[in-house]
Amino acid sequence: MNPKQPPSLATWMLEHLVPGERNEALDGDLLEEFHCGRSTVWYWRQALAAIAIGCLREILIHRTALLFAALWSMLAPAWLLIVANIEQHYNLGQRFWQMDWPWSTLCDLGLLLGVNVLFIWIGIVLYLLPDLWVAKSLGLWRIGKGILASLPVLFALWLALIVLSKIFLTGQVVDQHSVAPASTYSIGDVAPIEIQQPSPAEQWDVQYGDKVTDPYINPRNAILDMRTTTLFVRLPFFLCLLCTLWGISSHSQGRRSRIIA
């Protein structure tokens, strides 16, 4: 009679979802304990615990990449506002929309995607600089490899980089060069009656239903802004940086292990 087999799904998860190299000794110990009378619930509990411990271990190993990705992505809203101010100063949007379709749309979205990719690449270079400084070598090949490593993630998230940035800028960018509010006059032209224009905070409340007590135009204020829209706009930047830097760190640690061995 064949011995009782552990749950196939739990075994698959144990083999494929534990980060790092496969621990065959752990698999063998769990299988042996299960054949000695341990329950299915016990096997599931051990498999999930192994996955959780493995993920926690990987997070601790790559904590520098995780922290840098979180801090650099905090600057993304300020970066978008700076780019929007530059675009507005040179009337780039108006120039784009004077082109024939589809070039107008391609140039407008392409500019936004390009500056976002540049922001991510700058973050990758800054992350690599301390290691290059310690190695006392410029290491352009390593910087190039880091940038190339980001391309698959950028390809997967390019739409989010455009759409979420557009939503953020639509609600945030205030035309600082707009004409002063027009005035209307009474029938006798005795005294002008100023039309009360809604404040940026009121415009934001109407559009998004999110109360704003101190709306910002200055990009510096956007860095610490924690509203829903700014959190969402940071997300693709964070994922791009984290996945890229995680891969770079794993590759570097694997190479060091081979050298030591």
Sort 27 into a burial class: Cβ within 10 Å, 0-12 / 13-18 / 19+. middle
SS3 50: helix
Phi and psi, residue 129, nearest 5°: -60, -45
What is the spatial distance between Cα 98 and Cα 92, in angstroms, rounded to a whole number?
A: 10
Hey, what's the torsion of the CAs at 20, 26, 28, 32, to 10 degrees?
-150
pLDDT-derived band at 216, boundaries 50, 70, 90:
very low
H or E stretch including 223? none
Summarize pLDDT for 226-239 with one digit per residue, the tens: 888 899 999 999 99
What is the spatial distance between Cα 72 and Cα 229, in angstroms, rounded to a whole number?
A: 17
DSSP 214: S
**Distance (Å) of CA 249 to CA 130, 241, 256:** 13, 12, 11
What pLDDT was estimated at residue 157?
93
Cβ count near 165 (within 10 Å): 24
Q: Examine the pLDDT at 260 and tell me if it is beyond 50.
A: no
Summarize pLDDT for 78-137 with one digit per residue, the tens: 999 999 888 888 888 788 878 888 888 888 889 999 999 999 999 999 998 887 776 666
What average pLDDT does the segment 60-76 reach? Answer: 93
What pLDDT was estimated at residue 249?
76
What is the spatial distance between Cα 13 and Cα 23, in angstroms, rounded to a whole number?
A: 13
Sort 163 into a burial class: Cβ within 10 Å, 0-12 / 13-18 / 19+. middle
